Amino acid sequence: MNPLTLEWVEKAEGDFSTAQREMRARNAPNYDAVCFHTQQCSEKYLKAILQENDQTIPKIHSLADLVALCIKINPSFTLLEGDLMIMEEYAVQFRYPGQSAVKHEAKQAFKAVVTVRQFIRNFLGL
Protein backbone atom coordinates (compact mmCIF):
# COMPACT_ATOMS: atom_id res chain seq x y z
CA MET A 1 0.00 0.00 0.00
CA ASN A 2 1.15 3.51 -0.82
CA PRO A 3 2.54 5.21 2.35
CA LEU A 4 0.28 8.24 1.81
CA THR A 5 -2.72 5.94 1.56
CA LEU A 6 -1.78 4.49 4.92
CA GLU A 7 -1.63 8.01 6.39
CA TRP A 8 -5.18 8.66 5.16
CA VAL A 9 -6.29 5.36 6.70
CA GLU A 10 -4.65 6.21 10.03
CA LYS A 11 -6.34 9.62 10.09
CA ALA A 12 -9.68 8.00 9.24
CA GLU A 13 -9.21 5.48 12.03
CA GLY A 14 -8.59 8.31 14.49
CA ASP A 15 -11.93 9.83 13.55
CA PHE A 16 -13.63 6.43 13.78
CA SER A 17 -12.21 5.87 17.27
CA THR A 18 -13.41 9.27 18.43
CA ALA A 19 -16.92 8.70 17.05
CA GLN A 20 -17.02 5.24 18.61
CA ARG A 21 -15.83 6.52 22.00
CA GLU A 22 -18.50 9.25 22.06
CA MET A 23 -21.19 6.82 20.92
CA ARG A 24 -20.31 4.53 23.84
CA ALA A 25 -20.07 7.30 26.44
CA ARG A 26 -22.47 6.74 29.32
CA ASN A 27 -22.19 10.25 30.75
CA ALA A 28 -22.87 13.22 28.50
CA PRO A 29 -22.16 11.70 25.07
CA ASN A 30 -21.35 14.33 22.46
CA TYR A 31 -23.66 13.45 19.56
CA ASP A 32 -22.41 16.46 17.58
CA ALA A 33 -18.91 14.94 17.71
CA VAL A 34 -20.19 11.52 16.66
CA CYS A 35 -21.79 13.01 13.56
CA PHE A 36 -18.78 15.18 12.72
CA HIS A 37 -16.24 12.38 13.12
CA THR A 38 -18.29 9.87 11.13
CA GLN A 39 -18.30 12.32 8.23
CA GLN A 40 -14.58 12.96 8.64
CA CYS A 41 -13.80 9.24 8.78
CA SER A 42 -15.74 8.63 5.58
CA GLU A 43 -14.13 11.58 3.83
CA LYS A 44 -10.63 10.38 4.70
CA TYR A 45 -11.34 6.79 3.66
CA LEU A 46 -12.62 8.01 0.29
CA LYS A 47 -9.49 10.10 -0.10
CA ALA A 48 -7.43 7.00 0.75
CA ILE A 49 -9.04 5.26 -2.23
CA LEU A 50 -8.14 8.17 -4.48
CA GLN A 51 -4.59 8.23 -3.12
CA GLU A 52 -4.13 4.50 -3.62
CA ASN A 53 -5.25 4.89 -7.23
CA ASP A 54 -2.90 7.79 -7.99
CA GLN A 55 -5.71 10.32 -8.28
CA THR A 56 -5.51 13.96 -7.29
CA ILE A 57 -6.96 14.50 -3.82
CA PRO A 58 -9.37 17.42 -4.08
CA LYS A 59 -9.54 19.82 -1.14
CA ILE A 60 -13.27 19.30 -0.67
CA HIS A 61 -15.46 17.84 2.04
CA SER A 62 -18.40 16.68 -0.08
CA LEU A 63 -18.87 12.95 0.32
CA ALA A 64 -21.09 12.95 -2.77
CA ASP A 65 -18.33 14.46 -4.89
CA LEU A 66 -15.68 12.17 -3.44
CA VAL A 67 -17.68 8.99 -3.95
CA ALA A 68 -18.39 10.07 -7.53
CA LEU A 69 -14.62 10.11 -8.10
CA CYS A 70 -14.30 6.69 -6.48
CA ILE A 71 -17.10 5.30 -8.67
CA LYS A 72 -14.92 6.16 -11.68
CA ILE A 73 -12.27 3.88 -10.17
CA ASN A 74 -14.72 1.08 -9.38
CA PRO A 75 -18.50 1.20 -9.91
CA SER A 76 -19.07 -0.86 -6.75
CA PHE A 77 -18.67 2.35 -4.76
CA THR A 78 -22.25 3.19 -5.75
CA LEU A 79 -23.20 0.81 -2.93
CA LEU A 80 -21.99 3.42 -0.43
CA GLU A 81 -23.97 6.38 -1.73
CA GLY A 82 -26.95 5.95 0.63
CA ASP A 83 -24.79 5.65 3.73
CA LEU A 84 -22.60 8.55 2.69
CA MET A 85 -25.62 10.81 2.14
CA ILE A 86 -26.62 10.24 5.78
CA MET A 87 -23.35 11.93 6.81
CA GLU A 88 -23.02 14.43 3.93
CA GLU A 89 -23.84 17.58 5.90
CA TYR A 90 -22.24 16.56 9.19
CA ALA A 91 -18.90 18.24 8.41
CA VAL A 92 -20.53 21.55 9.29
CA GLN A 93 -24.14 21.07 10.38
CA PHE A 94 -23.56 20.77 14.12
CA ARG A 95 -20.36 22.81 14.49
CA TYR A 96 -22.05 26.08 15.37
CA PRO A 97 -24.77 27.22 17.77
CA GLY A 98 -28.33 26.75 16.66
CA GLN A 99 -28.36 23.04 15.90
CA SER A 100 -27.38 19.98 17.87
CA ALA A 101 -27.39 16.32 16.93
CA VAL A 102 -29.66 13.95 18.80
CA LYS A 103 -29.03 10.33 19.69
CA HIS A 104 -30.99 9.01 16.71
CA GLU A 105 -28.88 11.01 14.24
CA ALA A 106 -25.66 9.90 15.91
CA LYS A 107 -26.73 6.24 15.87
CA GLN A 108 -27.70 6.47 12.21
CA ALA A 109 -24.41 8.16 11.30
CA PHE A 110 -22.38 5.64 13.26
CA LYS A 111 -24.15 2.71 11.61
CA ALA A 112 -23.44 4.30 8.22
CA VAL A 113 -19.75 4.86 8.92
CA VAL A 114 -19.33 1.26 10.06
CA THR A 115 -20.60 0.13 6.66
CA VAL A 116 -18.46 2.62 4.72
CA ARG A 117 -15.35 1.83 6.76
CA GLN A 118 -15.70 -1.94 6.35
CA PHE A 119 -16.33 -1.67 2.60
CA ILE A 120 -13.28 0.51 2.02
CA ARG A 121 -11.02 -1.48 4.34
CA ASN A 122 -11.99 -4.62 2.44
CA PHE A 123 -11.37 -2.85 -0.87
CA LEU A 124 -7.89 -1.84 0.33
CA GLY A 125 -7.17 -5.32 1.63
CA LEU A 126 -7.03 -4.27 5.29
Q: What is the pTM of this model?
A: 0.95
Q: What are the tens digits of pLDDT across the range 8-45?
A: 999 999 999 999 999 999 999 999 999 999 999 999 99
* CA-angle at 104, arms to 101 and 107, nearest 5°: 95
Q: Which pLDDT does position 96 carry in this prediction?
A: 81
97 confidence band (pLDDT: 50, 70, 90): confident
Contact 117, 26 (CB under 8 A): no
Q: Which pLDDT does position 90 carry in this prediction?
A: 85
For the domain 3-124, what is the CATH superfamily, name and number? Nucleotidyltransferases  domain 2 (1.20.120.330)
What residues have CB less than 8 Å from 97, skipping those under 6 apart? none
Contact 49, 12 (CB under 8 A): no
Buried b (16+ CB within 10 A) or exposed e, 11-38: bbbebbebbbebbeeeeebbbbbbbbbb
Q: What are the tens digits of pLDDT across the range 53-84?
A: 999 999 999 999 999 999 999 999 999 999 99
